[in-house]
Amino acid sequence: MKHNNLNRNVKVLLLLFCIVLTFCSIQATIRANTYTTSSDIQILLDRFISGKLKDISYCKDIISTNPEIGNTVDSTSNITISFKDDMDSESFTNGTIIIYEYKHSSIITDLFNINYDHKKKQLSINFKIDGNSVGTANSVVIFLTKDIKRQNGTHLDSDFFFIYYT
């Protein structure tokens, strides 16, 4: 009988430990300023797939994108995003801008250079290697997280996405 109580107490302690660990993990994700782990990115993708993520047309900070939202373009096309206000160039990272392609279900952000021009208030996302491509008959989703900051230090209101096709 004493042995069974000990086993039950150990099980309860293990369960409590797992709950605390899960809670800490959720809190770390909430506090994180970038989507840097695969689980963080998966949460973003799940929000996108379930329709719980706003498309870029809801972002009051963005004037335009090239390619335009939903357009079909050449698979070697670079990406530009024009902002209403000057943005903090240091807030544009591989953790605040995530590029996902559907054909291979891959995060491909590392294939791109990310540069911000303060004078034009424009973000350029260009292939690191000329001639690179996202492939034909593909869908590309660009995620901009709420951790991107304006020059005055305030953040975007939400995570946003836009999609284009090749």
Give mean pLDDT, residues 115-127.
97
Q: Among the listed ranges 22-36, 42-56, 117-131, which one has the minimum average pLDDT value?
A: 22-36
Q: Domain residue spans in the chain? A: 53-165
97-118 pLDDT, tens digit each: 999 998 998 899 999 999 999 9
CATH topology of domain 53-165: Immunoglobulin-like (2.60.40)
pLDDT band at 11; cut points 50, 70, 90: low
Q: Of 50, 141, 139, 129, which Cα lies nearest the Cα of 100?
A: 141
**Phi-psi label, residue 96: left if phi above 0, alpha if psi -120 to 50, beta otherwise:** alpha
| pLDDT confidence of residue 44 | 80
Give mean pLDDT, residues 27-55.
66
Q: Of 115, 98, 83, which Cα lies nearest the Cα of 163?
A: 98
Judged against a pLDDT cut of 80, whether residue 2 lies above it is answered with: no
What span, in angstroms and rounded, lies between the C-alpha atoms of 63 and 81? Answer: 8
Other C-beta atoms closer than 10 Å to the C-beta of 79 total 21
Does the pTM surpass 0.95? The reply is no
